[in-house]
Amino acid sequence: MISSTVAAKPLRSSLRPRFACPSPLPPQRRQSTVAAASSPDPRPPALHAFPLDSLRRDIGRESKLHRLRDAFLPPGVPHLAPTQQTPAGNPLPRIYSKLPDDYRNGIEAQLERCNYRADYLILVSAVLAQRNVDKAFNKHDAVRLICARLFHLLIDSPPSHADPNMLILAHAIRFKLEDAHIQLPDVLLGLGLLCAASCHSFSALRLYLHKFRALDYPIPPRLFGRVVDSLVNPAHPAVRTHTPWLRPWSDDHALAVMLGFTDAPPTPAYDLSHFLPRNQWHCMSRWLRALARLKAHDQLRTEWAMWLQDPRRNTPKECTCLGEADGPSAAMLNRERKPMWRLRDAGLWNTATRGDLALLEAFRKSGCVEEAWSVLAASDVPFEVLSRETRSALSARPEFAPPRLWTDEMRAALLQRYADDLAEIEAVFEVEWVWDEESGTGHHRLASGGSWFAEMEDFTEDLVLGSPEDDCHDASPSALQIRRVKSNRGRDHRPGRPQSGDGKGSALLS
């Protein structure tokens, strides 16, 4: 485990507030007669074997607390309604469950009526209130079905939908399951992890990562990508508008979540590096971009050493190449994908060059130019297919280039970089280059029409010496003459201005 430099508080076993702690149960009442038959459960057994009727009654009883919903759980927005959230022709995926079909259909029918966060919480409470009459009705599977519906609704939504109120709902469901001594479903932990990452809650994100590790659950690849994107990408404008208290992730907290917590025990580690699905390339590409954004140089070197031993690099295979993107950020994405398209057109696009190109770009963005040259030397990626920013960064440090890689194209790229820098300097100072064919030499001169460089020289001299009219009452005639000569010296050298041979300067000094 690679520890970061963040100093965080110790991990709490549960983010449960004091008022949410369960109260102790009252002692059992003594039997009225000595000869009364003892029973572990004073309630009579149910007469029906089908618990859906009892579930509906418990939902009705729990719904009587509707007037208290605004006090503890504010009403949700209509995007939680499946009819409005699910687009036409793209229904929610069929969630795997061990429940029989009749129980499953009954719970799904109740889920269709849930439009608010409190409705989901009431449904969970009604499921947990059921008596264990039928062994086929598993409360864990029933609650997992409810949490899976919430998870799939949020994973397909913008990050602004996983707001702090949804994180409160995930906490409330977790509290109820812990009180009932029921194992937490994996989709509930995924729901809490998604909401914690979108809300930038470091403590909640750490708690759900610890739960994933303790229960030995893998993080789904799509959820892993969402969490990594939330760590390095700025918050959505809608999130910043509706939640002004939301602050961006600090680099220390982001590194702690990704690479390790300093105050965590050595084993088992529960940071994101232990959940990384390396066989999923869309997760690996996000992981490398995040490391480059946070400038985790040591971890990038570790990833390069691991990639050298990866079978996908030693035995390359064909892979798909991303096409043109659309949307608000299409221009930026297409510019980043141009090296992929050049490799595809050259017939060099495979799993090996895909990984080498991603690591090369990560080293370049993090500032490790020497390592970027090493990746280029060990790969089959040509220098010409790289992006303009990468070619410019590599050409700026030619001392790290291996001799066999220094080609005419690299030399031309280096000369072009120097020419561009020189053109920018000439444009700023408004000077131009004059070449003499006979002598084979050249020099710079001020551009025709005057230059702000000469005007700045006059301004600095007036600022240091002062204006003669301002202090003529306390200046000697000789000092005034010297100031006038110095102030006119810069003007005489301007193009198109007469030189000091007209006798004005000599007359002042005589």
pLDDT digits (tens, 9 = 90+) for 39-64: 444 444 333 334 566 666 666 655 55
Q: Please report, as a single letter, which amino acid is at residue 309.
A: Q
What are the structure tokens assigned to 177, written together? 């399951």
Residue with the larger pLDDT of the pair 260 and 360: 360
Is the pLDDT at 287 greater than 80, yes or no?
yes
| 174-188: average pLDDT | 91
> 504 with 359, same domain?
no
What is the CB neighbour count within 10 angstroms for residue 280?
A: 16
Among 105, 90, 175, smallest CA distance to 142 is for: 105
> 85 with 163, same domain?
yes
Secondary structure class of 137 (helix, strand, coil): coil
> 458 with 423, same domain?
no
> 83 with 218, same domain?
yes
220 part of a folded domain: yes
Predicted local confidence at residue 43, as pLDDT: 42
Predicted local confidence at residue 118, as pLDDT: 81
The pTM assigned to this predicted structure is: 0.70
| Alpha-carbon span 508 to 481, nearest angstrom | 6
> 458 with 398, same domain?
no
503: left (phi over 0), alpha (psi -120 to 50) or beta: left
441 part of a folded domain: no
> 153 with 228, same domain?
yes
Kind plus residue range of the DSSP H or E element containing 134: none
> 459 with 351, same domain?
no
| Alpha-carbon span 304 to 361, nearest angstrom | 12
Q: Residue 360, CB half-sphere, CA atoms under 13 Å: how many?
A: 28
Beta bridge partners of 431: 446
> 355 with 475, same domain?
no
Predicted local confidence at residue 297, as pLDDT: 94
Q: Phi then psi for 442, rounded to 5 degrees?
A: -145, 170
Cis amide leading into 51 (omega within 30):
no
| Alpha-carbon span 410 to 271, nearest angstrom | 41
Pairing relation of β-strands 441-446 and 431-436?
antiparallel
Contacts of 133 (CB under 8 A, 6+ apart): 45, 46, 49, 51
Q: Is 379 exposed, middle or buried (0-12, 13-18, 19+ CB in 10 A)?
A: middle
For the chain, give the mean pLDDT. Answer: 74
175 part of a folded domain: yes
Q: Residue 322, CB half-sphere, CA atoms under 13 Å: how many?
A: 16
> 407 with 469, same domain?
no
Angle at 378 between CA 377 and CA 383, to 5 degrees: 45
| Alpha-carbon span 412 to 244, nearest angstrom | 50
Residue 322 to residues 319, 336, 339, 341, 349, Cα–Cα distance (Å)? 10, 11, 11, 8, 11
**Of the residues 245, 260, 294, the one at which a domain ends:** 245
**Of the residues 385, 400, 429, the one at which a domain ends:** 429
112 part of a folded domain: yes
Q: Residue 348, CB half-sphere, CA atoms under 13 Å: how many?
A: 19
Contacts of 354 (CB under 8 A, 6+ apart): 281, 319, 340
Could you tell me the residue range of the domain that residue 499 belongs to? 448-509
159 part of a folded domain: yes
467 part of a folded domain: yes
What is the number of domains present in the chain? 3
Tens-digit pLDDT profile for residues 225-268: 999 998 887 554 444 444 444 577 888 889 999 998 877 676 78
| 361-379: average pLDDT | 92
What is the CB neighbour count within 10 angstroms for residue 493?
A: 12
Predicted local confidence at residue 211, as pLDDT: 92
> 159 with 223, same domain?
yes
214 part of a folded domain: yes
| 97-122: average pLDDT | 81
Contact criterion met (CB below 8 Å) for 262 and 6: yes
Contact criterion met (CB below 8 Å) for 351 and 277: no
Contacts of 444 (CB under 8 A, 6+ apart): 426, 431, 432, 433, 434
Count of residues in the chain: 510
Is the pLDDT at 35 greater than 90, yes or no?
no
Predicted local confidence at residue 360, as pLDDT: 95
133 part of a folded domain: yes
| Alpha-carbon span 50 to 442, nearest angstrom | 97
Q: Please report, as a single letter, which amino acid is at residue 413.
A: A
**Of the residues 216, 245, 274, the one at which a domain ends:** 245
Give me the helix-helix angle, 164-179 and 139-155, nearest 10°: 170
> Which string of DSSP letters, residue by residue, matches 208-267?
HHHHHHHTTPPPPHHHHHHHHHHHHSPPPHHHHHH-TT--PPPHHHHHHHHH--TTS-SS
> 147 with 116, same domain?
yes
> 390 with 474, same domain?
no
Predicted local confidence at residue 13, as pLDDT: 54
